Amino acid sequence: MTDKRAYLGRSLNQRAYDAADNAAAAFETLMRQNAAVGRLASGHTLIGFKTEALRILNEEFVSAASFALNLLDSVDGETSQAVAYFANRLVELIYGKLVICGPGTGIAEATVARELNNIKIALQERRDRVLDDFAHGMAGDQRIKSDSVVSIANTHSNSPDEAPASDRVVRIDHNSAGYRETEEALDTLEHGLKSTNDFLGEPEEKDQFVAEVSAARRLLQAARVRIAALAELLKPLLVQYVAKVKDNVIATLAAAAGAAILAWLGHIFG
């Protein structure tokens, strides 16, 4: 059973990244189609983003839930947590792809930020619904088990007890998917900071954030990094700025970067 659990974890992790790739392809196709008919910078694109995001989350979750049950025959608390974590990753990764695509629509930054945040909320609500269905033995419209599925309420929240200590030194695998996702998110954030004319703060604060994100990226290029040093650099932007300014493209990019780091290294901003 231990081998099967390890295999399940690896499979769910890869499925999450495959889902993100599928989402990116779907969003790019939608944008090309709308651009071809002259309505890229319109509400049609934003509505399409939401439709595609929810479709992919639904399809990928149902497939993964069925896979888990077929593999293990029954589901206990540990397996339920793995499935719940997978559902969380779906939300984070699909939303991350939306954040990357959003600026390419040509729609006003404030509008994009607001609508992408609404889509994220819709994804979170759908996540909660499919997890509730799974807890009651359902995947989509199909009953998957009659009596072996246990409740997974609240297992999709991160537990501080499982988080790495803030002074922990971690080894960086530069070939890992987590590193690539984090580097991509930080790169997008750094370029967004440099190019934005809509930064809600003093110019000196913007320059400071650019320097700190750049320094964090350099830290992550090393073979090992101290979590406390990384958190000290990024917390003012990824936590404090996002909390203060929600309806802003930079805040959206910062939130996406924070989600990528959280998924990769755990809760480092306590």
d(CA 84, CA 130): 10
Q: What is the pLDDT of residues 11-52, one digit of tens each?
A: 999 999 999 999 999 999 999 999 999 999 999 999 999 999
Contact between 150 and 76 under an 8 Å Cβ cutoff? The reply is yes
Note the maximum CA span of the chain. Answer: 60
d(CA 154, CA 151): 9
What is the full DSSP assignment across 65-89? HHHHHHHHSS--HHHHHHHHHHHHH
Confidence (pLDDT) at 86:
93
d(CA 178, CA 17): 10
**pTM for the full predicted model:** 0.55
The tens place of each residue's pLDDT in the chain, 270 residues long, gives 568 888 888 999 999 999 999 999 999 999 999 999 999 999 999 999 999 999 999 889 988 888 888 888 776 777 788 899 999 999 999 999 999 999 999 999 999 999 999 999 999 999 998 888 887 777 655 666 433 333 333 333 444 333 344 457 878 888 888 888 889 989 998 988 888 877 877 888 889 989 999 999 999 999 888 888 888 888 887 877 776 666 577 887 888 888 788 777 765 665
Contacts of residue 177, defined as CB under 8 A and 6 or more positions apart, other chains included, come to 13, 17
Contacts of residue 5, defined as CB under 8 A and 6 or more positions apart, other chains included, come to 72, 78, 79, 82
Q: Residue 26 has which token pair?
A: 């779907």
Q: What is the pLDDT of residues 48-88, one digit of tens each?
A: 999 999 999 988 998 888 888 888 877 677 778 889 999 99
How many Cα atoms are found within 13 Å in the side-chain-facing hemisphere of 228?
5
d(CA 199, CA 252): 12
Element housing 242 (H / E): helix 242-244
Confidence (pLDDT) at 143:
66
